[in-house]
Amino acid sequence: MRIYVAHSTNIDYENEIYNPLKNDSFFLGHEVVLPHENGVSINNSREDYKNYDIVIAECSEPSTGMGIELGWFYDDEKPIYCFYKKGTEISNAVASIAEETIEYEDNQDFVAKVKEFITK
């Protein structure tokens, strides 16, 4: 499965998202695309977004760029799962295009819930 991980660049995504996902052996069996890994942004064209199977979006922090990406995924009818930290709120616009919105407690809970939705 080809999984795209969307998020705001205004968070510590390396430690909060990337490392927890990369350190879980479950994800070795999938192609997990981390768009800003090692501080280098991948340059997806509009057509590239059609090649992903599922979108995992960490939506605790609003982001215009992520919103545009999610709109493209929605337009391409890709399943979008939006995760947000307990104590934060997700925008109504983002929630309206998500297959599901999922609250999580910490990094471990985030990884556990991502795995749960990938295996559905």
Structural domain for 34, as ranges: 2-118
pLDDT in tens, the chain (120 residues): 999 999 999 999 999 999 999 999 999 999 999 998 866 566 667 778 889 999 999 999 999 999 999 999 999 999 999 999 999 999 999 999 999 999 999 999 999 999 998 887
Q: Which pLDDT value is given to residue 93?
A: 93
**Cα 22 to the center of its chain, rounded Å:** 14
Q: Which pLDDT value is given to residue 77?
A: 95
Give me the half-sphere count of Cα atoms (radius 13 Å) on the Cβ side of residue 34: 17
Tell me which residue of 35, 18, 20 sits closest to 106, measured CA to CA: 20
Tell me, what CATH number does 56's domain have? Answer: 3.40.50.450
Q: What sections of the chain are H helices per DSSP?
A: 13, 19-22, 64-75, 92-97, 107-118
Q: Which pLDDT value is given to residue 40?
A: 58
Q: Name the domain count of the chain.
A: 1
Q: Which pLDDT value is given to residue 47?
A: 79
Q: Which pLDDT value is given to residue 111?
A: 97
Tell me which residue of 23, 20, 1 sits closest to 11, measured CA to CA: 20
Q: Which pLDDT value is given to residue 107?
A: 95
Strand extents, DSSP E, the chain: 2-7, 31-33, 54-58, 80-85, 100-104
